[in-house]
Structure 1
Amino acid sequence: MIANVLVGLVAVIHLCIVYLEMVLWDTPRGHMVFKLTPEFASASKVLAANQGLYNGFLAAGLIWGLYLGEAGFQFKVFFLLCGAAAGLSGAATAGRKILFIQTVPAMLALIALALC
C-alpha cells in the first residue's frame, strides 16, 4: 500500500511537471519556477513542451502500472527508474533541486516496492 501511494505521488509530480512545461512555461509563473527570462521562455517553449511530453509518458506508465495492480510491478519499476535517471540528468545539467523533486521520490518508491 505504501509503495503504491509513493508511486502515485511520483506520477502526480510528473503530471505537475507536464503542466509547468507544456502550459505555464511562457507565463510569469513558469518564468518564476524555472528562473527564465521572458525572451528565453518564448524562444524555448517548443522544446519545453517536448520535455513536458516525456514527463507525461513517465506519469502514464506509472499510472498504468498502478492500474494493473500486482501485474504492473515491472511497469512501476521501469518507469520509476526512468524518472530517477531523468532526475539525475536534470540535476547534472539544469539544477540540483531536480534531484530532490524527481530522483529522491522515485528512489523512495523503488525502495518501497522492493520491500513489498
Structure 2
Amino acid sequence: MQIAANIMVILVALEHFFILWLEMFNADSDMAAQAFGVPRKLLQMPEVQTLFKNQGLYNGFLAVGLIFAIWVVPAAAAGGVTMFFLACILVAAVYGSATASKQIIVVQGLPALIAFILVYLA
C-alpha cells in the first residue's frame, strides 16, 4: 500500500510541476488558452501573465512540499505532512471548481483525493 501511495503522491507532484511550467513559462500559449478556457489574447496581457506566474509558483510549492514530505521528512511524520499538502491541493481544487472551472475538481482534486486516501490507508 505504501508503494501505491508514494506513486500516486509523485504523480500529483508531477502534475503540479507541469502546472508550474504551464503557468510560469508557457502561460500565453495555445495549450494554456485551451487548458484555462480563455482567449490567448487575454493570456498575453502583462497583468494576466503576472497573475499566472504567481499561481504557478504556488503550484510549485505544493509539488515540492509533496516531494519533501515523502523523501526528506522522517517516516514518523511523513504521512501527516504529505496529507497536509494533499489537503491544500484539495481545498484549492474545491475553490477553483467553485470559482473558475468545474474541471478543476476532476483534474486536480481527484488525483489528490486518491493520493490522500492511499496515504491515509498506508
- Name the SS of the counterpart of 1:56 in structure 2: helix
Cα offsets for 1:6-42 (capped at 9, x unmatched)? 1111101111111111111112222222222233112
Contact 2:5 2:119 in 1 (8 A): yes
Per the alignment, residue 54 of structure 2 pairs with 50
Q: Tell me the distance in 2 between the aligned counterparts of 1:32 and 1:23.
A: 16
Map of 1:92 onto structure 2: 98
- The normalised TM-score by structure 2 is 0.89
Q: What are the residue-to-residue correspondences of 1:1-116 with 2, within 5 Å?
A: 1-43=3-45, 44-68=48-72, 70=75, 71-116=77-122
Consecutive unaligned residues of structure 2, counting only runs of 5 or more, are none
Q: Distance in 2 between matches of 1:114 and 1:66?
A: 13
Q: How many residues were matched structurally?
A: 116
Distance between the aligned counterparts of 1:32 and 1:112, measured in 2?
31
Cα separation, 1, equivalents of 2:35 and 2:9 = 24
Following TM superposition, the consecutive aligned residue runs of length 4 or more in structure 1 with deviations greater than 3 angstroms are: none
Q: Gaps spanning 5+ residues in structure 1: where?
A: none
Normalization by structure 1: what TM-score? Answer: 0.93
Q: What letter matches 1:20 in structure 2?
A: L
Give identity over the alignment, percent. 38
In 2, Cα distance between equivalents of 1:31 and 1:62: 27
User: For the aligned residues, what is the CA RMSD?
Assistant: 1.2
Separation (CA, whole Å) in 2 of partners of 1:26 and 1:73: 37
